[in-house]
Amino acid sequence: MRYRPLSAQTYTNHRKKFSHTLPALSMAIFNSNDVLPTNADGTMPFRQNNDLLYLCGADQEESILVIFPDCTNPEHREILFLKETNSEIAIWEGEKLSKDKATALTGIKTIRWLQDFEPLLKALMAEAETVFLNSNEHTRRSAETGTRDERFAKKLMAEYPLHNYERAAPAMHRLRAVKSKEEIERMQEACKITEAGFRRVLKFIRPGIKEYEIEAEYMHEFLRRRSRGFAYSPIVASGFNACVLHYVENNAECRDGDLILMDVGAEYANYASDMSRTVPVNGKFSPRQREVYDAVLRVMKASMELLRPGVMLAAYHKQVGKLMEKELVELGLLTAEEVKNQDPASPAYKKYFMHGTSHFIGLDVHDVGLWHEPIQAGNVFTVEPGIYIREENLGIRLENDILITEDGYIDLMADIPLEADEIEASMAESEAVTS
Ligand code: GLY
Ligand code: MN
Ligand code: MN
């Protein structure tokens, strides 16, 4: 395997925690994601369903996980159904999970081939009163294409209309929001890989280079460190492009005197990292660039100090808005008058800082979590303030990932150069080496 999965013990603990949320005589069923088609016989790279991964680590298409803690047959309290592997499949696609390997990976004793699912389901449904089905309830999910979970839910509810049906998502969000020790280790590894990519591009950036060449340097570093690549579409945006928040073309030439904003993160073991750094193309910030950079950096550092167990995310975002407002006035971008007369429903700072400061991160880059409950130890958040000044062709965002602890936080990206002086020094060092 390219990456080190979590241990079978951790997956077993995750299932145990989930099982404890189920009422009596409940069965939960989780489906793999589809292998999504492109054109002709092409497919997208497979990306497993994160709830299924969290509960068992089976990183293989067409897998089904059944959890039924009260089932009378102890062998059926946890079952993992897998696509049967055979010599023909092995020739074309390589080895799939065998039953023994699946047990070693997941800690699940009962592994069955997929063709046993339908007959066994009849017996299980006869015993279950309530069925918990999985669904993607992310507030910004794309519902254009259906999922296996959705198709399965429709079919099951049509075939067994008299059972009680419940959503697995609320419990999954609650569990996934608080990371286990091994999940944090994998996220730290993802951040380390991102750091290696950033250190590599610091040596590489110079006037005339193309944004996609920088993207390629990251990819090279990520793949050789056992990542499967970017955790999300990378943004490598020089000059004005940095003011386009979701710029992903990465086609432009980097010009002398411009800044380049890079929002990139490696995935590792299906866990995301999410970093933003903004550096001068020629290795030296202009006084104005430096002034804005330091303002963003101050907001970032102060925001990290605000994220504590017990804090509500809405209140935190308001406080960050106030910090940003003060900086924007000092930079001459907002007047005291504008601030005084602002509509609290659409504060003045949003003209230059139009996105949120923090989101949960984990198996998903915009991970599931409890947005309306107090922050807890074990949550992992990004902290990503930015200032975007279109009229000055200037966009700066800085972003680190931090783990909330009982009495503060651990910055998982603490080793990645962040101070302007540090960035300039690293870029100057590489210039000395290459010239
Ligand atoms: N890279 C996406 C984000 O920063 O949220
Ligand atoms: Mn980002
Ligand atoms: Mn982010």
433 pLDDT more than 80: no
Least confident of 113-122, 133-142, 287-296: 133-142
- Whether residue 355 lies in the annotated active site: yes
Between CA 211 and CA 232, with CA 223 as vertex, the angle to 5 degrees is 60
Centre of ligand 3 from the C-alpha of residue 190, in Å: 14
Measure 272 CA to ligand 2 centroid, in angstroms. 10
**Distinct helix (H) and strand (E) counts, the chain:** 13, 17
20 catalytic, yes or no? no
- Is 246 within 8 Å of 268 (Cβ atoms)? no
Ligand 1 near 117 CB (within 6 A) = no
Rounded to the nearest 10°, the torsion over CA 71, 72, 77, 80 is: -100
Q: Active-site residue 267, yes or no?
A: no
Distance 385 CA to ligand 3 centre (A): 10
% of the chain residues with pLDDT over 70: 99
pLDDT 10s digits, 295-315: 999 999 999 999 999 999 999
Spacing, Cα 114 to ligand 1 middle (Å): 37
d(C-alpha 402, C-alpha 66), whole Å: 33
Per-residue model confidence as pLDDT tens digits over 376-422? 999 999 999 999 999 999 999 999 999 999 999 999 999 999 999 99
Contact between 197 and 266 under an 8 Å Cβ cutoff? The reply is: yes
397 is catalytic: yes
388 is a catalytic site residue = yes
Q: Does the beta carbon of 274 sit less than 6 angstroms from any atom of ligand 1?
A: yes
> pTM for the full model?
0.96
Domains parsed from the chain with CATH numbers: 8-176 (3.40.350.10), 181-434 (3.90.230.10)
Is any atom of ligand 1 closer than 6 Å to the C-beta of 211? no
Instruction: Name 309's Cβ contacts closer than 8 Å, sequence gap at least 6.
Output: 374, 375, 376, 377, 404, 406
247 vs 346: CA distance, rounded Å = 24
Atom of ligand 1 nearest to the CA of 384: 4
Atom of ligand 1 minimally distant from the CA of 366 = 5
Percent helix, percent strand, percent coil in the chain, to nearest 5: 40, 20, 40
Token pair belonging to 188: 């730290």
AA identity, residue 10 = T
- Cβ(248) – ligand 1 distance below 6 Å: no
In the chain, what is the straight-line distance between the N-terminal and C-terminal CA atoms, in Å?
41
